[in-house]
Structure 1
């Protein structure tokens, strides 16, 4: 009997293993890494296989989490206020979610992915690899859809836009190939409705606007469900800080609530944009009220007008429309229930957020989620459509784009005798820009280039990513401290490591003096970096080596803004690039207007040339593709705030001080060794 029991147990275990393996979803970060590796090997069939698999896995993980959280929320509801019952529901719901999720995609631990990878998927980076791979494989229809999908979230990618224009002229490419594979249903329906509305097809537009509202409220439910995952506690370390049970629950729930509150912003923001569409949700009801009016359905028009006023109580132009509809119909109407419930929940959550934020010790100020520019006034009291819906106005103007200086100056002394001023802000067509030559000599360039080949590592300074900005180039880097460490260990000449340190200090002094700064300029980050064109991947390149960006704010070309908020390095004030060579093709440094398209100045790198500029939205910049050879430079970012000094630089200062002290002691021993006895 024992033998049969053991056999039965073994068979049960095997069966469970088979069932589990059949439902295990391969992690999308692993597939993504495999796809990038295949790309660098030129194995385009596997690029397609792995990248498409990664996108499918990413989507399935997201949808599974939504399904399981909503299903388990329905199965285990908070129907009472008894403490024991609440905890019982929490435990059962957690168990339900865990079983449901692991039953569909396997162990959740397999799908814990770094924020960097998630950001790559949110930015649609896999589609860039896919469009290149499909093009290599001659599958133009799929290449076009991948390129179009990527461009929707990366509109500042000038070369991709140009490449899409070239696709249009190619034989076999059709309009239906230009599809956005990641389009959001609520926005897709809304834009389709607006398109018909602007053509005067009001009756047809109604269907799309109603669909857009249905999809919006569905997307809101999904967004809120996704917020129930892990949260980042920025204000306290919850491992070290001794919280009691209720404080922990309060703080975590406050974070979840804040995430859910921000779904309004998320659903109103187009892919790749930083600012949401102005007045997005109320605008649906405004379009509908006028479209229904044009279609002769005044009761529906009144309903939508009253709903709009829930968001903007007492707004003049819509209040006049309501009076008109009431007069025509001879009776009043009611706003839509879904909007009433939506706003009621929103206000209740705001009250809870204020309490929870107070518990966290973090002040909370609600953003203006539904800013409105109003509508046209009509002397005949006939309802008007809404103007300016395509204006992407940010929710809040609290973050300015340009670093504020009491006085912007330039033209100070160059400090070093051989340094030559080549161009200033005027000739570089901008503000706070400068170009120098002969900052270092040919011999120093050669020595630093040799050092770079010995000490730089792929992905160093780019969170381990070998190709952080483009799949067509390899990026390698090293910090000052790492280089000095290698020098101390004898792995590179200590003299060369010291040169890197000294050259970066020389650059800092030049920038500080030229821009006539009234306070000390501190290092924020120092990086010896080389980017190398990957052989076999340079034909028909359509990307930049480094996309257009600003160094201390998030560039938003469509809104003509640069948002000085995380994850941007908001504390950076000045930047500089000291070039070590020019024997490569491409790689020009470019300044643009804030639209990220209009090039205002171009700089061709060469040994000893240095470009310096203020780090804000006044100086968007990027790097053209390196199509042959290797481009090396010392990249430097500076801050006027000593609180944000580069930690590794401070440690490097200590190493240098120690070496100098050792040198002085050695000299002392050489001059008079008896003094040491």
Structure 2
């Protein structure tokens, strides 16, 4: 029997345990991610009381879920360590290691099911929100919802909680300043809603030190130290939680990738726990020993003082002040080198940190590819202009120059759909899959089929594609399935579409805010559906609608033919402009109109990309068609997926098309517009027929027969929806 056929039943068996083991004491029916999303929606809908209740439930739900993870992990690790192994031969160490992991996994599955009941997957799917919880984003919503419900003291507490994690958050600083001037707020009662007990003990110990109450200093600092060590153990345990693997199918690479992620997470735990009263202390752990050695010295407890000197020197062996203290202690009667024995647990921690940092440095050294490495792999060899932020302008050949070596990559290892299939095979399920199954409405498909029966639309929009020139491909752009092409639009067409956007575009179209992606810019958008409604009321012409349909269809066909992807459907078409808000400082540091992201998965800070939490997993290719260049900034950039620093910039110009596959192989963004208005046509394409663009189908029907009763009903409904959406914006 082939090896591949042996593994799958094992996985199915383990997942069977997830699905059928008992569920006695469920944590709750709604996972914290769902509650958080509902809380944000309540905020946007101005239902502030529900916003408060939902966000508080989300915060409490996440605390309980994390406590469950910690308890299950500790229990199962101890249980697995105490069970006799099937593999006992010392020569089979690898098998024994994995047997321990399998036993621990079996225990974890049962433990999670006991507490989460039938809702276990909902809690796993909440991982998309973890970064926002760590940054205390829920409290940003909560402080305003508290303010709107008249609970001003709580609003001040929530704002203060955000500032402890984000001390440079200008908006929150202004809000907090405002709250502290209100009569309803007692400044002495302002507290963090996410208290860290060990830092509070540390602050009290520092106060006792200032007033020279040495017994209190030693007691409080010992308690603070123990609290920190327990918090670090908890943090390290939580680092071992759910991790989105990505699209690499190799077993060894996946194991190493997951381990490297966990290792870096664990190494960051001390840093995450070292913020005291809003200030990060780089030597937070060591400073406990500094306070303790002096407090014990003042109480004539020399053995304890010397032990803490030894503790301190484990982390800072060359600290001259502490080395001087050691020499002073050695001059005391009866004090010798044996007094300088560190605590066993502190010694173990220092050794562990040293080993983990050594391995982490190895990972950083050998798994970061330089530009030379990239060129060897075929993604380079062209002239580039370096920028301070690490990006470069693409060296686009002059018009009329020959294009050679533009090879097309056929491998699809970077496609998120491969990854999603892996999730499905493993028994995972995302909310997006429900939308994937629903897709475009059957009524619209039936109507479109009926009204277009017997007629065939031309596959190629006239000579438009014949004049398109490919100016940059994968090699110039530094990655797979990337291209830049020119002359898809004439100057007159660019101007016509720009005027159309200015005339009937809507502020915040497609979003619930006027400036959804950057607070420094105003977004104006125009979708095909909104344009249909505008044509119907006489604000735009049928020729305008026909032009937008033809141009976007030409872009789709160009992408389809360039990369041999058929069929390929339009998923969403959006004319968009971005303009800096008045008073914006054009000399500000690099910022983004649209931060670095991936179009069909949710990008995490560690560079992994998860097809959940609002990801448009049905989008397979993306494209931007520029309408103008008379503005400063606003360049399209490809970026490094981990650092999120731009690696390649593309300068906008009328008729220039940028296209790329929409998976994690192509993280990208848009730099901030500093002056003027950036106008472009954004397009997303899908290979899934059920996910084709409904508004495009309606636009096609409308152009064929705008008087049909079914068409009139759909257009009327569309107009009402836009009216409601505009009120929300």
Match of 1:145 in 2: 157
Select 1:452's aligned residue among 485, 491, 505: 505
Equivalent position SS for 1:644: strand
Match of 1:535 in 2: none
The 3 A distance-change label for structure 1 pair 41 and 363 is closer
Output the CA distance in 2 between the equivalents of 1:296 and 1:493.
Answer: 89
Report the alpha carbon displacement of residue 224 of structure 1 after superposing the two structures with TM: 1.5
Output the CA distance in 2 between the equivalents of 1:291 and 1:489.
Answer: 83
Q: Are 1:480 and 1:497, in contact at CA under 8 Å, matched by a contact in 2?
A: no
Report the alpha carbon displacement of residue 36 of structure 1 after superposing the two structures with TM: 2.0
Q: Is 1:279–2:301 an aligned residue pair?
A: no
The 3 A distance-change label for structure 1 pair 492 and 403 is same
Select 1:119's aligned residue among 122, 127, 131: 131
Q: Are 1:452 and 1:529, in contact at CA under 8 Å, matched by a contact in 2?
A: no
Report the alpha carbon displacement of residue 251 of structure 1 after superposing the two structures with TM: 4.4
The 3 A distance-change label for structure 1 pair 356 and 405 is closer
Match of 1:87 in 2: 98
Equivalent position SS for 2:317: coil
Q: Are 2:70 and 2:238, in contact at CA under 8 Å, matched by a contact in 1?
A: yes
Report the alpha carbon displacement of residue 285 of structure 1 after superposing the two structures with TM: 0.8
Q: Is 1:197–2:209 an aligned residue pair?
A: yes
Output the CA distance in 2 between the equivalents of 1:637 and 1:444.
Answer: 20
Query: Which piece of structure 1 moves more, 187-196 or 300-309?
Result: 187-196
Match of 2:268 in 1: 262
Match of 2:144 in 1: 132
Equivalent position SS for 2:314: helix
Select 2:590's aligned residue among 528, 551, 559: 551
Q: Are 2:48 and 2:149, in contact at CA under 8 Å, matched by a contact in 1?
A: yes
- Superposed CA deviations along residues 487-520 of structure 1, whole A, max 9, x for unmatched, are 999774748999xxxxxxxxxxxxxxxxxxxxxx
Match of 1:216 in 2: 228
Report the alpha carbon displacement of residue 50 of structure 1 after superposing the two structures with TM: 0.8
The 3 A distance-change label for structure 1 pair 103 and 164 is same
Match of 1:528 in 2: 577
- Superposed CA deviations along residues 237-281 of structure 1, whole A, max 9, x for unmatched, are 422xxx3x55654443343233323323333356988xx532221
Output the CA distance in 2 between the equivalents of 1:51 and 1:112.
Answer: 18
Match of 1:238 in 2: 248
- Superposed CA deviations along residues 107-147 of structure 1, whole A, max 9, x for unmatched, are 43212346663222222222222222222222233222222
Report the alpha carbon displacement of residue 196 of structure 1 after superposing the two structures with TM: 3.5
Q: Are 1:254 and 1:357, in contact at CA under 8 Å, matched by a contact in 2?
A: no
Q: Is 1:253–2:259 an aligned residue pair?
A: yes
- Superposed CA deviations along residues 366-425 of structure 1, whole A, max 9, x for unmatched, are xxxxxxxxxxxxxxxxxxxxxxxxxxxxxxxxxxx964899xxxxxxxxxxxxxxxxxxx
Match of 1:374 in 2: none
Match of 1:322 in 2: 326
Output the CA distance in 2 between the equivalents of 1:350 and 1:135.
Answer: 45
Output the CA distance in 2 between the equivalents of 1:478 and 1:646.
Answer: 22
The 3 A distance-change label for structure 1 pair 342 and 158 is same
Question: Equivalences for 1:2-17 in 2 at 5 Å?
Answer: none
The 3 A distance-change label for structure 1 pair 223 and 215 is same
Output the CA distance in 2 between the equivalents of 1:639 and 1:238.
Answer: 21
Count of aligned positions? 447
Q: Are 1:28 and 1:58, in contact at CA under 8 Å, matched by a contact in 2?
A: yes
- Superposed CA deviations along residues 147-204 of structure 1, whole A, max 9, x for unmatched, are 2212222322334334434433433433453111112233332233234334544443
Name stretches of at least 5 consecutive residues in structure 2 with no aligned partner: 1-19, 371-386, 393-494, 535-539, 552-574, 593-603, 608-627, 640-644, 660-678, 680-729
Output the CA distance in 2 between the equivalents of 1:545 and 1:19.
Answer: 56
Query: Which piece of structure 1 moves more, 184-193 or 311-320?
Result: 184-193
- Superposed CA deviations along residues 62-116 of structure 1, whole A, max 9, x for unmatched, are 2221221121111112897554443332111101112212222344321234666
Q: Is 1:179–2:191 an aligned residue pair?
A: yes
- Superposed CA deviations along residues 352-373 of structure 1, whole A, max 9, x for unmatched, are 5567778x85599xxxxxxxxx
- Superposed CA deviations along residues 568-601 of structure 1, whole A, max 9, x for unmatched, are 99xxxxxxxxxxxxxxxxxxxxxxxxxxxxxxxx
The 3 A distance-change label for structure 1 pair 467 and 210 is farther
The 3 A distance-change label for structure 1 pair 89 and 227 is same
The 3 A distance-change label for structure 1 pair 325 and 24 is same
Output the CA distance in 1 between the equivalents of 2:515 and 2:116.
Answer: 29
Question: Equivalences for 1:474-553 in 2 at 5 Å?
Answer: 492=545, 494=547, 528-529=577-578, 550-551=589-590
Output the CA distance in 1 between the equivalents of 2:522 and 2:114.
Answer: 40
Name stretches of at least 5 consecutive residues in structure 1 with no aligned partner: 1-15, 365-400, 407-441, 499-525, 533-543, 554-565, 570-607, 614-634, 657-677
Equivalent position SS for 2:281: coil
Select 1:101's aligned residue among 92, 108, 112: 112
Report the alpha carbon displacement of residue 213 of structure 1 after superposing the two structures with TM: 0.9
Match of 2:466 in 1: none
Report the alpha carbon displacement of residue 232 of structure 1 after superposing the two structures with TM: 5.5
Q: Are 1:456 and 1:478, in contact at CA under 8 Å, matched by a contact in 2?
A: yes
TM score, norm. by length of structure 2: 0.51
Equivalent position SS for 1:52: helix
Report the alpha carbon displacement of residue 340 of structure 1 after superposing the two structures with TM: 0.5
Q: Is 1:345–2:357 an aligned residue pair?
A: no
Select 1:30's aligned residue among 30, 34, 55: 34
Equivalent position SS for 1:301: helix
Output the CA distance in 1 between the equivalents of 2:548 and 2:238.
Answer: 54
The 3 A distance-change label for structure 1 pair 64 and 297 is same
Report the alpha carbon displacement of residue 55 of structure 1 after superposing the two structures with TM: 0.9
Q: Are 1:127 and 1:149, in contact at CA under 8 Å, matched by a contact in 2?
A: yes
Equivalent position SS for 2:577: strand
